[in-house]
Amino acid sequence: MEITGGLAANEGATAAGAERALAVGIAAGVERLIGLLRSLSPADGLSPTSTATLATLERSGPRRLTALAVQGGVTQPAMTQLIARLEDAGLVRREADPADGRVVQVRLTDQGRDTLARRRAVRAERLAVILDRISPQDRAALRAALPAIDALASAQRDVILTH
Protein backbone atom coordinates (compact mmCIF):
# COMPACT_ATOMS: atom_id res chain seq x y z
CA MET A 1 0.00 0.00 0.00
CA GLU A 2 2.80 2.40 0.87
CA ILE A 3 4.54 1.52 -2.36
CA THR A 4 1.45 2.44 -4.38
CA GLY A 5 1.05 5.71 -2.48
CA GLY A 6 4.72 6.48 -3.00
CA LEU A 7 4.44 5.77 -6.70
CA ALA A 8 1.38 8.02 -7.01
CA ALA A 9 3.17 10.81 -5.18
CA ASN A 10 6.24 10.32 -7.36
CA GLU A 11 4.09 10.40 -10.53
CA GLY A 12 2.45 13.60 -9.27
CA ALA A 13 5.86 15.15 -8.67
CA THR A 14 7.00 14.02 -12.11
CA ALA A 15 3.91 15.52 -13.74
CA ALA A 16 4.41 18.78 -11.83
CA GLY A 17 8.05 18.82 -12.91
CA ALA A 18 7.04 18.26 -16.53
CA GLU A 19 4.52 21.11 -16.34
CA ARG A 20 7.18 23.38 -14.84
CA ALA A 21 9.64 22.41 -17.58
CA LEU A 22 6.96 23.15 -20.19
CA ALA A 23 6.32 26.56 -18.61
CA VAL A 24 10.04 27.35 -18.60
CA GLY A 25 10.39 26.29 -22.23
CA ILE A 26 7.37 28.33 -23.32
CA ALA A 27 8.59 31.40 -21.40
CA ALA A 28 12.01 31.20 -23.05
CA GLY A 29 10.48 30.67 -26.48
CA VAL A 30 8.09 33.58 -26.06
CA GLU A 31 10.97 35.84 -25.02
CA ARG A 32 12.76 34.96 -28.24
CA LEU A 33 9.58 35.50 -30.27
CA ILE A 34 9.06 38.91 -28.66
CA GLY A 35 12.56 39.86 -29.74
CA LEU A 36 11.84 38.58 -33.24
CA LEU A 37 8.57 40.53 -33.47
CA ARG A 38 10.27 43.70 -32.26
CA SER A 39 12.93 43.32 -34.93
CA LEU A 40 10.24 42.79 -37.60
CA SER A 41 8.14 45.78 -36.54
CA PRO A 42 8.30 48.98 -38.56
CA ALA A 43 10.03 51.99 -37.00
CA ASP A 44 6.86 54.04 -36.58
CA GLY A 45 7.43 55.41 -33.11
CA LEU A 46 4.98 53.08 -31.35
CA SER A 47 6.35 51.32 -28.29
CA PRO A 48 5.52 47.68 -27.61
CA THR A 49 3.20 48.82 -24.79
CA SER A 50 1.42 51.22 -27.17
CA THR A 51 0.96 48.50 -29.75
CA ALA A 52 -0.24 46.00 -27.13
CA THR A 53 -2.75 48.55 -25.81
CA LEU A 54 -4.11 49.22 -29.30
CA ALA A 55 -4.37 45.47 -29.92
CA THR A 56 -6.22 44.99 -26.62
CA LEU A 57 -8.73 47.67 -27.61
CA GLU A 58 -9.16 46.05 -31.02
CA ARG A 59 -9.72 42.61 -29.48
CA SER A 60 -11.81 43.61 -26.46
CA GLY A 61 -13.53 46.83 -27.48
CA PRO A 62 -13.68 49.96 -25.34
CA ARG A 63 -12.03 49.61 -21.94
CA ARG A 64 -11.52 51.68 -18.82
CA LEU A 65 -8.07 53.11 -18.23
CA THR A 66 -7.74 51.07 -15.04
CA ALA A 67 -8.44 47.82 -16.91
CA LEU A 68 -5.92 48.75 -19.62
CA ALA A 69 -3.30 49.51 -16.97
CA VAL A 70 -3.83 46.15 -15.25
CA GLN A 71 -3.70 44.23 -18.52
CA GLY A 72 -0.66 46.19 -19.70
CA GLY A 73 1.18 45.65 -16.42
CA VAL A 74 1.72 49.38 -15.87
CA THR A 75 0.52 51.92 -13.34
CA GLN A 76 -2.64 53.91 -13.96
CA PRO A 77 -0.67 57.20 -14.27
CA ALA A 78 1.62 55.58 -16.87
CA MET A 79 -1.41 54.31 -18.82
CA THR A 80 -3.04 57.75 -18.59
CA GLN A 81 0.07 59.30 -20.17
CA LEU A 82 0.20 56.60 -22.85
CA ILE A 83 -3.48 57.07 -23.73
CA ALA A 84 -2.95 60.84 -23.94
CA ARG A 85 -0.14 60.29 -26.48
CA LEU A 86 -2.22 57.78 -28.46
CA GLU A 87 -5.18 60.18 -28.39
CA ASP A 88 -2.98 63.06 -29.62
CA ALA A 89 -1.88 60.80 -32.49
CA GLY A 90 -5.52 60.07 -33.34
CA LEU A 91 -5.22 56.35 -32.58
CA VAL A 92 -7.70 56.24 -29.67
CA ARG A 93 -10.41 58.45 -28.23
CA ARG A 94 -11.93 58.76 -24.80
CA GLU A 95 -15.69 58.74 -24.42
CA ALA A 96 -18.29 58.44 -21.71
CA ASP A 97 -19.48 54.94 -20.85
CA PRO A 98 -23.05 54.63 -22.17
CA ALA A 99 -24.05 52.74 -19.01
CA ASP A 100 -22.47 55.27 -16.62
CA GLY A 101 -21.66 58.73 -17.94
CA ARG A 102 -19.22 59.34 -15.07
CA VAL A 103 -16.95 56.59 -16.38
CA VAL A 104 -14.57 57.25 -19.26
CA GLN A 105 -13.71 54.49 -21.68
CA VAL A 106 -10.97 54.36 -24.28
CA ARG A 107 -11.94 53.32 -27.79
CA LEU A 108 -9.77 52.47 -30.80
CA THR A 109 -10.28 54.84 -33.74
CA ASP A 110 -10.33 53.85 -37.40
CA GLN A 111 -6.85 55.38 -37.69
CA GLY A 112 -5.68 53.19 -34.78
CA ARG A 113 -7.17 50.11 -36.45
CA ASP A 114 -5.48 51.02 -39.74
CA THR A 115 -2.16 51.55 -37.95
CA LEU A 116 -2.38 48.09 -36.40
CA ALA A 117 -3.24 46.54 -39.76
CA ARG A 118 -0.27 48.22 -41.45
CA ARG A 119 2.11 47.10 -38.68
CA ARG A 120 0.84 43.53 -38.93
CA ALA A 121 1.17 43.54 -42.71
CA VAL A 122 4.80 44.72 -42.52
CA ARG A 123 5.64 42.14 -39.85
CA ALA A 124 3.89 39.37 -41.80
CA GLU A 125 5.79 40.26 -44.97
CA ARG A 126 9.09 40.23 -43.10
CA LEU A 127 8.18 37.04 -41.24
CA ALA A 128 7.29 35.27 -44.50
CA VAL A 129 10.91 35.71 -45.61
CA ILE A 130 12.09 33.99 -42.41
CA LEU A 131 9.50 31.22 -42.70
CA ASP A 132 10.84 30.42 -46.16
CA ARG A 133 14.19 29.62 -44.52
CA ILE A 134 12.89 26.91 -42.17
CA SER A 135 11.84 23.38 -43.03
CA PRO A 136 8.33 22.47 -44.16
CA GLN A 137 8.06 20.32 -41.03
CA ASP A 138 8.82 23.29 -38.78
CA ARG A 139 6.31 25.45 -40.67
CA ALA A 140 3.70 22.70 -40.24
CA ALA A 141 4.49 22.50 -36.52
CA LEU A 142 4.07 26.27 -36.19
CA ARG A 143 0.75 26.10 -38.06
CA ALA A 144 -0.45 23.30 -35.79
CA ALA A 145 0.60 25.25 -32.67
CA LEU A 146 -1.45 28.36 -33.53
CA PRO A 147 -4.66 27.22 -31.76
CA ALA A 148 -2.70 26.29 -28.62
CA ILE A 149 -0.90 29.66 -28.65
CA ASP A 150 -4.25 31.44 -28.94
CA ALA A 151 -5.69 29.33 -26.09
CA LEU A 152 -2.70 30.16 -23.88
CA ALA A 153 -2.99 33.90 -24.57
CA SER A 154 -6.76 33.80 -23.99
CA ALA A 155 -6.44 31.85 -20.73
CA GLN A 156 -4.14 34.53 -19.30
CA ARG A 157 -6.93 37.11 -19.49
CA ASP A 158 -8.95 35.01 -17.03
CA VAL A 159 -6.14 34.65 -14.47
CA ILE A 160 -5.26 37.30 -11.93
CA LEU A 161 -1.52 37.14 -11.47
CA THR A 162 -0.38 37.89 -7.91
CA HIS A 163 3.35 37.29 -8.25
Ordered by start, the domain boundaries in the chain are 1-40, 45-156
What tens digit of pLDDT does each residue of 152-163 get? Answer: 888 866 554 443
- Say which CATH class 45-156 falls into: mainly alpha
What tens digit of pLDDT does each residue of 125-139 get? Answer: 999 999 999 999 999
| H helix runs in 41-135, sequence order | 48-60, 65-72, 76-88, 110-131
What is the pTM assigned to this prediction? 0.74
